């Protein structure tokens, strides 16, 4: 007899774990295949800054026990200025958070197989009917879900995603102690999450300091391998070199030391529109799509929202007397993704490209612009409202807009 489940999910990250959680709660027979060994999980995939907001904590019943620090403000920095906005948030202990999702979904009835590397879809009559893992192991399902992130071994082979190298963001982060979070000349970062736009430190990207309690913080940076990175990058410097450079030049880190026993958090994601999201018997969720917020890189909430949309789609497809898992039926997921998970995604991508094309002096101007903008306008801007975005545009931005237009025409 075939090894069979209602749903097989590849990947036990936030999207995969949450999808299993939702499906098991609906009494579906769900299997999660995870590459890492359970005894070390998630050592290899402990890669997120894990900053999120109350809406995620409430919507997905994330417990306080996985929170390192609740924050009260979001701070944006430019090379010579900063902007502070009151915005509550939470910095999660990412490993504890992922283990919670596994534990909770198991308690609801989900099955996990760790040390199980998914390699390919099993095809019959041109449709996916299961997955192959660990060489010649096979498992079958009515619906298969790829939640493996950029690796995307199933989505790529099914033609559902087409991740581009020049849209790939790579990042590194460490946890530090003895960080001066209220240094003269800088914003007070106690109980705050800070993002810094500065091509000298992160060409084509941004860096961050997330307060995690007392004098400790998560400190890291990422950049997209885009035109700005090629323009501003220093010869011979990689991602680790840029982090070392920031640590050596910023006085807030004069006495900082990496917390003993912690490791580097390394990761990558793609900042681009999805090629597609589903096909017959198959959906892709989380960073496989990709679902990460294009502007600020927040992936946990959107990844979990995509998981919930996929779980709702499974429920709609499998509950009728005659289940329907065709591409047409599962396209409900595509509709939910565009309307609820990542609305106005194209506008936010446009904003992201413009932001990272801008020079450092424009970032200083942006801080001043934000200070004269009310919170409602900023919320609209963050939601991709083009009219609100126009309020921050200056005549001096015409060359930047022209450069953006040329890039779009040539891509």
DSSP-H helix ranges across 44-161: 54-59, 94-108, 153-157
Average pLDDT over residues 175-181: 97
Confidence band of 296 (pLDDT split at 50, 70, 90):
low
Confidence band of 319 (pLDDT split at 50, 70, 90):
very high
Query: How far apart, in whole angstroms, are the C-alpha atoms of residue 1 and residue 3?
Result: 7
What is the structure's pLDDT at 201? 96
Using CA atoms of 44, 50, 55, 57 in order, give the dihedral in degrees to the nearest 10.
70
What is the structure's pLDDT at 395? 66
Question: Is the whole model's pTM more than 0.75, yes or no?
Answer: yes
Q: Which of 40-44, 318-322, 325-329 has the weakest average pLDDT?
A: 40-44
Query: How far apart, in whole angstroms, are the C-alpha atoms of residue 17 and residue 216?
Result: 28
| Token representation of residue 84 | 């502070």
Average pLDDT over residues 366-391: 78
Mean pLDDT score across all residues of the chain: 90
Which domains, ranges and CATH numbers included, belong to the chain? Answer: 4-48+95-163+274-341 (3.50.50.60), 66-92+166-269 (3.30.9.10), 345-410 (no CATH)
Q: Does 143 have pLDDT greater than 80?
A: yes
| Token representation of residue 403 | 């450069």
Q: Which of 95, 133, 104, 115 is nearest to 38 (CA)?
A: 115
What is the structure's pLDDT at 410? 64
Q: Specify whether the CB–CB gap between 86 and 72 falls below 8 A.
A: yes
Query: How far apart, in whole angstroms, are the C-alpha atoms of residue 352 and residue 165?
Result: 17
Q: Does 272 have pLDDT greater than 90?
A: no
Q: Specify whether the CB–CB gap between 317 and 310 falls below 8 A.
A: no
Query: How far apart, in whole angstroms, are the C-alpha atoms of residue 315 and residue 323?
Result: 10
Average pLDDT over residues 190-215: 95
What is the structure's pLDDT at 271? 76
Using a pLDDT cut of 70, give the percent of the chain over it: 94
Average pLDDT over residues 127-139: 96
More confident residue, 34 or 48: 34
Q: pLDDT by residue (tens digit) across 153-170?
A: 999 999 998 877 777 788
Using a pLDDT cut of 90, give the percent of the chain over it: 65
What is the structure's pLDDT at 409? 61
Average pLDDT over residues 373-397: 74
- Outline where DSSP puts E strands in 34-94: 51-52, 67-77, 82-92
Average pLDDT over residues 371-399: 75
């Amino acid at each position: 007899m075939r090894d069979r489940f209602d749903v097989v999910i590849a990947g036990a990250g936030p999207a995969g774990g949450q999808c299993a959680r939702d499906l098991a709660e609906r009494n579906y027979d769900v299997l999660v295949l995870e590459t890492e060994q359970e005894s070390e999980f998630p050592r290899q995939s402990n890669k997120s800054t894990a900053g999120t907001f109350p809406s995620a904590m409430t919507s997905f019943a994330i417990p306080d026990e996985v929170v390192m620090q609740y924050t009260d403000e979001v701070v944006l920095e430019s090379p010579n200025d900063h902007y502070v906005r009151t915005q509550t948030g939470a910095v999660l202990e990412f490993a504890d958070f992922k283990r919670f999702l596994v534990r909770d979904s198991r308690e609801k009835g989900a099955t996990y197989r760790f040390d199980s590397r998914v390699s390919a879809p099993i095809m019959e009559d041109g449709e996916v009917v299961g997955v192959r893992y660990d060489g010649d192991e096979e498992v079958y399902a009515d619906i298969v879900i790829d939640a493996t992130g950029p690796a995307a071994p199933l989505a790529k082979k099914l033609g559902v995603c087409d991740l581009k190298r020049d849209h790939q963001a790579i990042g590194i982060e460490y946890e530090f102690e003895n960080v001066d979070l209220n240094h003269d000349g800088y914003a007070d970062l106690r109980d705050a999450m800070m993002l810094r736009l500065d091509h000298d430190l992160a060409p084509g990207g941004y860096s961050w300091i997330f307060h995690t309690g007392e004098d400790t913080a998560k400190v890291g940076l990422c950049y997209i391998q885009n035109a700005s990175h090629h323009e501003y990058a220093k010869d011979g410097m990689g991602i680790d070199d840029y982090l070392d450079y920031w640590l050596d030049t910023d006085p807030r880190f004069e006495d900082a030391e990496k917390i003993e026993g912690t490791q580097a958090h390394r990761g990558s994601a793609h900042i681009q529109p999805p090629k597609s999201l589903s096909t017959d018997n198959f959906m892709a969720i989380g960073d496989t799509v990709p679902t990460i917020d294009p502007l600020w890189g927040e992936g946990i909430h959107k990844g979990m929202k995509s998981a919930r949309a996929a779980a709702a789609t499974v429920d709609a497809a499998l509950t009728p007397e005659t289940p329907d898992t065709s591409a047409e039926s599962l396209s409900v997921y595509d509709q939910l993704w565009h309307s609820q998970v990542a609305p106005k995604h194209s506008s936010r991508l446009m904003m992201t490209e413009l932001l990272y094309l801008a020079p450092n002096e424009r970032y200083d101007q942006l801080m001043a612009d934000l200070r004269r903008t009310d919170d409602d306008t900023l919320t609209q801007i963050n939601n991709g409202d083009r009219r609100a975005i126009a309020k921050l545009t200056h005549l001096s931005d015409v060359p930047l807009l022209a450069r953006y237009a040329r890039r779009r025409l040539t891509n």
